[in-house]
Amino acid sequence: MAIALRKPNEIEKLRAANKIVGGALELLRTNTKVGISLKELDAMAEDYIRSHNAKPSFKGLYGFPNAVCTSLNKVIIHGIPTDYKLQEGDVIGYDIGTELEGYFGDAAITVPVGTISEFDESLIACSKDTLYYAIDKIKQGMRFKELSSLMEQFIISRGFVPLHDFCGHGIGKKPHEEPQIPNYLEGKNPKQGPKIKNGMVFCLEPMICQKESKPLILENGWDVISADGLRGSHYEHTVAVINGKAEILSLA
C-alpha cells in the first residue's frame, strides 16, 4: 500500500487535529498530581477534546474503552484508565488521539508524579530525547529503515532497549496508515524499503524498556509491559515532512 503524500491544505487540517492533542497532553501534564485518579485524568482530556469540537479517536478504536491511554509504571503503552490514584514517585504515560473534520492527531508523553528517582528521570528522558533526536535527523530521501536504526542506536546508547512488535505509523484520514515505523531495525540493511518524501505525515513513538524488548499483554487485553516487568517510558509526536525536513504538528 502506497504511503500518502499530503497537500498543504491537508497538512494544515492534520495540524489542527494535532494541536488539540498537544493541548490535551499539556492539560494532563499540569494536572498530574498525587491523589488524582486515572479515570479523572481521562475524563478531563476527553472534555478538553470535545470542547474543541474534536472526537477522542482512541475511544472505541479496536475496542479501546477510553479517550486516553494511561500507562502507569511498568505499563509502557495502551494502559486502560482505572480508579487508581497517582502516588508520589509514580511514572505515568499519556497517549491521546483526536479526529477533527476527518483528519487525525496522535501524540504521547511520559511524566513524573512528584519527585522520582534519578534513574526514572533518565528512563523518561530516553524516550523524549530519542524522539527529538530522530525528528532532527529526518530529511527527504532517507529511508524509514535508516530512521528506525538511528532510534535503536540512540536508545541502546542510553543503556535501554526498544519495545518490540509495536511501532510508529503513518497518519492522516485514518488513525493508523502506512508505513509502520519500528524503533529498531528489522533485518540487517537500513538501505532498504520506502524513502521519506515531502508531504508524508507520520508518528514517531519511542517505547523504552529497561532490559527486555519482548512485550507481554496483561489480562485486560490492552496494557503492554516488557517481559522484564520493569518500568518503561513512551513519547510520540506527529510530524509532517515539509521542505525536506520534519515539522512537529502535535504541539499545543
Q: What are the CA-CA distances from residue 173 to residues 57, 170, 214 (Å)?
A: 11, 10, 31
Place of cell 541502546: 156
Residue-wise pLDDT tens digits, 26-71: 999 999 999 999 999 999 999 999 999 999 999 999 999 999 999 9
Residue-wise pLDDT tens digits, 175-205: 999 999 999 999 999 999 999 999 999 999 9
Residue-wise pLDDT tens digits, 207-233: 999 999 999 999 999 999 999 999 999
User: Domain containing 68: what range?
Assistant: 8-248
pLDDT at 111: 98
Rounded percentage of the chain residues whose pLDDT exceeds 70: 100
pLDDT surpasses 80 at 98: yes
In a domain, 1, yes or no: no
Give the separation between CA 168 and CA 180, rounded to whole angstroms.
Answer: 6
Cell of 192: 532498504
Q: Is the distance from CB of 151 to CB of 184 less than 8 angstroms?
A: yes
In a domain, 2, yes or no: no
**Domain containing residue 187: CATH number:** 3.90.230.10
Cell of 197: 518524501
pLDDT at 121: 98
As a whole number, mean pLDDT of residues 137-146 equals 98
As a whole number, mean pLDDT of residues 74-94 equals 98
Give the separation between CA 210 and CA 230, rounded to whole angstroms.
Answer: 7
Q: Is the distance from CB of 200 to CB of 234 less than 8 angstroms?
A: no
The tally of domains found in the chain comes to 1
Give the separation between CA 72 and CA 2, rounded to whole angstroms.
Answer: 36
Average pLDDT across the chain, whole number: 97
174: left (phi over 0), alpha (psi -120 to 50) or beta: beta
Structure-derived torsion over alpha carbons of residues 77, 85, 67, 97, reported in degrees to the nearest 10: -50
Q: Is the distance from CB of 183 to CB of 133 less than 8 angstroms?
A: no
| H-helix or E-strand spanning residue 77 | strand 75-77
pLDDT surpasses 80 at 1: no
Return the number of other C-beta atoms located less than 10 Å from residue 99's C-beta: 21
pLDDT surpasses 80 at 122: yes
Task: Judge if pTM exceeds 0.95.
Answer: yes
Q: Report how far Cα 236 is from the mean position of its chain's Cα atoms.
A: 3
